[in-house]
Amino acid sequence: MRGDTWPNTGTGPTRRRAKPGQNAAMTRPGPARRARKPAGREATYSRRVAFSIIVRVRYAECDMQGHVFNAHYLTWFDMAHTALLTTALAQPYSAIVAGGVDIVVAESGVRYLAPARFEDELSVGVQLQEPTRTSLTSSFTIRRGEKVIATGFLRHVCVNPETMQKMAWPDEIRAALAPYVASDSSASPAQAAAGESEPSSV
């Protein structure tokens, strides 16, 4: 069992600003303005999409201290990453593999800032770093309400599913992932996992 999850892409209706003397409650939703695309190749990355899933902590995920066992955070990272991939590519993961592309984990890291407990509802947010020729790094933030309780990263490598040898990302996958690439991809995910905040007391 993976627990209850559902994606949250952070999108929703926009409202027009009320005119002077007009009741704001009477304004109707209007279409969101399209972002102006900058010139050159950066136009590919002009639309940023926030992506997250919601997980509810199960009793089986807690240790004898009553906290979520540390390894489960990586499971939640993987769940959020897989949900982003299947949403961006509009197909199940099995279809991606059948199309000649598989993804394996090469590196991971977690920074634990506060404990999670049974029945906590958590948001697992994910943003992508700009892909290299063969790898993709994802940065994660886990929140309980507004409080950040963990951060971390996963680095995946694109491989041929038959030979398990590294291969370049196909152009169509790069294009599909582009909207989810963070605006500032310069920060090291390892630094983000290490963080500057001290863990809060339990």
- pLDDT of 157-186, one tens digit each? 999 999 999 999 999 999 999 999 987 655
Please report whether residue 165 resides in a domain.
yes
Structural domain containing residue 113: 45-194
User: Could you tell me the pLDDT band of residue 49, with boundaries at 50, 70 and 90?
Assistant: low
Q: Which has the minimum average pLDDT: 82-86, 144-148, 184-188?
A: 184-188
Q: Taking Cα atoms as reference points, which of 189, 45, 191, 57 lies closest to residue 124?
A: 57
Q: Is residue 39, in this structure, part of any structural domain at all?
A: no
pLDDT at 50: 84
Better-scored residue on pLDDT, 128 or 7: 128
Decide if 140 is inside a domain.
yes
**127 domain-assigned:** yes
Task: Give the CATH number of the domain where residue 172 resides.
Answer: 3.10.129.10
pLDDT at 43 over 50: no
Q: Which long-range contacts (CB under 8 A, 24 or more apart) does 159-163 make?
A: 159/102, 159/103, 159/104, 160/100, 160/101, 160/102, 161/97, 161/100, 161/101, 161/102
Give the chain's domain count: 1
Is pLDDT at 114 greater than 80 in this prediction?
yes
Whether pLDDT at 77 is above 50: yes
In a domain, 112, yes or no: yes
pLDDT at 8: 59
pLDDT at residue 137 is higher than 90: yes
Is residue 10 assigned to a domain?
no
| pLDDT given at position 193 | 53
d(CA 57, CA 106): 27
Between 32 and 41, residue with greater pLDDT: 32
From the number of C-beta atoms within 10 Å of its C-beta (0-12, 13-18, 19+), residue 152 rates as buried
**Mean pLDDT across 56-66:** 96
Higher pLDDT, 64 or 11: 64
Q: Is residue 130 part of a domain?
A: yes
- pLDDT at position 28: 44
Residue 8: inside a domain? no
